[in-house]
Amino acid sequence: MQFDLSAVETATLVFIGTLVFALVITVFLMTASFLALVLVGVGRLAWIVASNVLLGLVHGINYAWDRLVHHASSVELSGDFAGDIAAEIMGQPAPSTGTYPRVVLRDS
């Protein structure tokens, strides 16, 4: 059985064509919005991972620096070297700094 489109009115064909066109646009918009949601989710996941890695790196550097400073503050200097350091702390002029005393950083 063959379907004869000439028997269908033009208004009916325009209506069916409009529905098909609306369906195509709807499918396109749904696909585009779904892909946009996926891309936003992937971007947010990448941002969270990157920020957590950087935050962990900063905490690791701070922890290592804290351990290094605490270790350096617990070291006792002995011998003639300790006397030289004490003289410099007291304000003895050094050739490289002119008349200004050298600054020694210690953990407080």
Dihedral sign for Cα atoms in the order 91, 96, 98, 100:
negative
Which three-class secondary structure state does DSSP give residue 30?
Answer: helix
- Residue 27 CA to its chain's centroid (Å): 35
> Residues near 94 by Cβ (< 8 Å), separated by ≥ 6?
88, 101, 102
> Residues near 89 by Cβ (< 8 Å), separated by ≥ 6?
101, 102, 104
Question: How large a percentage of the chain has pLDDT more than 70?
Answer: 69
What global pTM score does this model have?
Answer: 0.48
Residue in the block written with tokens 């996941």:
45
Which three-class secondary structure state does DSSP give residue 94?
Answer: strand
Write the pLDDT tens digit of every residue in 6-29. Answer: 777 889 889 999 999 999 999 999
